[in-house]
Amino acid sequence: MNKHHYVVIMAGGIGSRFWPMSRQDFPKQFLDILNTGKTLIQWTFERFASFIPPQNIYVVTSQEYSDIVAEQLPKLPKENILGEPSRKNTAPCIAYISFKLQQMDPKASLIVAPSDHLILDKTAFTKVCLESLDFVNKHSAFITLGIKPTYPNTGYGYIQYEQHSVSDNVYKVKTFTEKPNLELAKTFLASGDFLWNAGIFVWQGKTIIQAFEKYLPEMYDVFSAEKDKFNTPAEKKALEHIYPLCTNISIDFGIMEKADNVYVIPSSFGWSDLGTWNSAYENLEKDYLDNAVAGDNVIIIDSTHCMVKAPNDKLLLLQGLDNFIVVDTPDVLLICKKEKEQEIKEYVAEVKRNKGDQYL
């Protein structure tokens, strides 16, 4: 293991498309969505801890989730749980950890990854991560991991890449495209030069800080002005000064789509971003009628292609449903057509308008 290699797990989201299981005070990264016996963040930590020492793994989360992270990841040093004072998307989060690590270790290289993704082939994933770290340590470059698409998914971003590699399995990125409509997604798939954007990035600390200076200079200035306070007792107070001054912007939009030194490694390691109930459906075992059931006490009669999540201690009986999402929690029951899953965020907003925050 290389002592200059680090991992940053981003765990501050609220996962509203997994409502009603995912709640503001206990979002999806801390849940066992697929009934595996471990939560999504526990799987993510274990995946990285197999090739990065735990003392070099950091979790950036909302301050309100710090205790949950500590409870679920007992092998992670407490000082490696970094609480953000407010949610400002991924760019400020990455600026924070990059400046912090740079103060500690000017030779730092880091993998930045979400806390809530599913990766089935850990060996292939480890290989790609180590190849990425090797590449960015030799070049002033950013690596993003691209997933070879298997069907025209409209819920993922896409990466178009050059057809000639610059190194073994490393290609220059041509364009990033946000979630396309179905026709465009089919075109991307047919062209053969598009990948799904996994949202996992690899770079040297100094390279990303230079990019902040070039592409997000105002954010660079506020972090740079306070950087000497990082890794000292004054760090928390410095963050409370910095975050209100930061734009709410993603690292993709703020830097990756603008930089000219972005490369991609086309990968296959059984990836899903587990962003929706349909993605959970795709990754669960199905019964003979193509129902995916997460729960030990569910009876299904004359129902097909349903995604069902229910508590183990409660009997749930379904009859006559086709292509539905059914999620039962102690205080909320969601019954929703699978084709409407992208609108669950809107339904949550409707709940807020009618019932306040009680069920969020």
pLDDT band at 276 (very low <50, low <70, confident <90, very high): confident
Q: Which architecture does CATH list for 5-272?
A: Alpha-Beta Complex (3.90)
CB atoms within 10 A of CB 140: 12
Distance (Å, whole) CA 327 – CA 347: 14
Distance (Å, whole) CA 290 – CA 282: 10
DSSP 241-307: HHGGGS----HIIIIITT-S-EEEEEE-S-EE---SHHHHHHHS-B-TTS-EEESSSEEEES-BS-E
Residue 151 scores a pLDDT above 90: no
Contacts of 353 (CB under 8 A, 6+ apart): none
Residue 305 scores a pLDDT above 90: yes
pTM listed for this prediction: 0.92
Domain limits, the chain: 5-272, 277-355
**pLDDT attached to residue 17:** 86
Closest by CA position to 155, among listed 116, 198, 187: 198
Residue 301 scores a pLDDT above 90: yes
CA of residue 71 relative to chain centroid, distance: 20
**pLDDT attached to residue 190:** 87
Q: Name the residue with tokens 């002592």.
A: 3
Q: Name the residue with tokens 């592409």.
A: 215
Residue 32 scores a pLDDT above 80: yes
CB atoms within 10 A of CB 255: 25
**pLDDT attached to residue 163:** 87
Q: What is the pLDDT of residues 44-65, one digit of tens each?
A: 999 999 999 999 999 999 999 9
Average pLDDT, the chain: 93
Distance (Å, whole) CA 206 – CA 188: 34
Closest by CA position to 111, among listed 59, 65, 61, 157: 59
**pLDDT attached to residue 215:** 97
Q: Name the residue with tokens 């925050």.
A: 357
Residue 208 scores a pLDDT above 80: yes
